[in-house]
Structure 1
């Protein structure tokens, strides 16, 4: 993407970033991919799934171009979806890519008209590695005029890089997210000029019935439930790296 297309994103550079060692395991132990696979099979009855690795994707102009993601389990590189000016909400209904679990560089969305949520589009995206970043950001959501929620309800780990969510006038469900459960550090996140929280009326699953179904954390002095949408809670992070640092995907987990 020419740098001029997203010129405003260059204006703020995070103060620092930490490269995460390839063998780091946040759950406290280092286990080989085979051990994790055995545990997965024993406890959950899941079977190893072959990872279909795709190169970087730059998808723009026409919603039909998204079909190039159909068989991708891992994108080894970046995923950019941008500059779709004629698309409407109905063009995205029923469009889903459940195989996609890992993006090794960054995910960027910019001026995709009619897209209201990523919940159905990428229901199983679990890890954004941030090996290479977009101006030090691993997740960028910029000028998405109809986006109402991020909705990446399976996302549990952004390994390296920060988050930039800016100038999305209809975007809610931001105050219900605890990014510290997804990133090691939130100090370089830049989340501004979105819909006012007080105008959103965000409701987590179970809240209409007076039930607390989602994890609760304290954020900015406020103790609250954490959720991506009205249907999906924010999951706890428990991710791992194989001892050799290679990509392994075992349903329903994504290991990188």
Structure 2
């Protein structure tokens, strides 16, 4: 992927990264400089308190089929380098593991790739429904015999360019029967975009739409009684973010209902979601 210093995706990736650091300021930790989990699935417990992985994340060479449903890491929002998965038996979706992974920065890449999913024999969907930005690098998704929901993801909403993506050797889309939320009931919930001249609904799984709105700023619902939100504005912009636009379960606010403050070298404001 070719990425200039002034690209919009790089700018928004920086904003997303700053926002994600603010989402869990006291309940997690920055882990790193890289995490390598291999052979034993119980090593996943090393991720329990990670908010940011400052480096790469490898999960690989776990040959014994395990039940991963009890493993969930909702605190993890940012990986600053790359995410690599290789031959992890029994893992069917990444969405349950990393429901709030929002940004893969790509500061360092694995052979020019920021996301690598290779020979994951049991993986049925990627499912990273919170992923909004891969700031640098391409994706390589190869030889995953049971992997579906690839044709329903619009990677151009996440990446600066898609020309260097390598997606081959996975389950043919015609054999998948991918259905986005609400399509069976004829009440589709997801937005449509065009990929290769095909205008269709975009989703990660049958339960999660791909978020297509609010590319100009970051909005994240927090699990708190007062339903707080975080809006991040471009540097030097003290005005309200553009909107409102729909974004997943929430609505982007036209104004943030609190004073602006300078955090992480970016202008951020916290307000009440209505």
User: Per the shorter chain, which TM-score range?
Assistant: 0.7 to 0.9
What is the aligned counterpart of 2:153 among 169, 177, 189?
177
Question: Is the 2:119–2:144 Cα contact (8 Å) retained in structure 1?
Answer: yes
Aligned-residue offset at 1:148: 0.3
1:1-256 paired onto structure 2 within 5 Å: 16-18=1-3, 20=5, 24-26=10-12, 49-50=25-26, 52-55=29-32, 56-88=34-66, 90=67, 92-236=68-212, 237=215, 238-239=217-218, 246=264
- CA distance in 2: counterparts of 1:179 and 1:115, whole angstroms: 22
- CA distance in 1: counterparts of 2:38 and 2:158, whole angstroms: 28
Question: Is the 2:123–2:144 Cα contact (8 Å) retained in structure 1?
Answer: yes
**Residues 93 and 53 of structure 1, relative CA distance in 2, 3 Å threshold:** same
Question: Is the 1:25–1:241 Cα contact (8 Å) retained in structure 2?
Answer: no
- CA distance in 2: counterparts of 1:219 and 1:169, whole angstroms: 23
Structure 2, gaps ≥5 residues long: 219-231, 236-261
- CA distance in 2: counterparts of 1:61 and 1:177, whole angstroms: 30
- CA distance in 1: counterparts of 2:37 and 2:71, whole angstroms: 15
Aligned-residue offset at 1:49: 2.8
- CA distance in 1: counterparts of 2:23 and 2:264, whole angstroms: 18
- CA distance in 1: counterparts of 2:155 and 2:69, whole angstroms: 28
Aligned-residue offset at 1:215: 1.3
Aligned residues: 220
Which deviations, in whole Å up to 9, do the C-alpha atoms of 1:111-170 show, x marking residues without a partner?
000000011100000000000000000000000000000000000000000000000000
Q: Quick check: which one's helix share is greater?
A: 1
**Residues 164 and 157 of structure 1, relative CA distance in 2, 3 Å threshold:** same
Aligned-residue offset at 1:208: 1.0
Q: Secondary structure at the match of 1:208?
A: coil
- CA distance in 1: counterparts of 2:7 and 2:192, whole angstroms: 30
Question: Is the 2:80–2:106 Cα contact (8 Å) retained in structure 1?
Answer: yes
- CA distance in 2: counterparts of 1:80 and 1:247, whole angstroms: 30
Q: Secondary structure at the match of 1:233?
A: coil
- CA distance in 2: counterparts of 1:241 and 1:63, whole angstroms: 39
Q: Quick check: which one's strand share is greater?
A: 2
Structure 1, gaps ≥5 residues long: 1-15, 38-45
Q: TM-score, normalised by structure 1?
A: 0.78
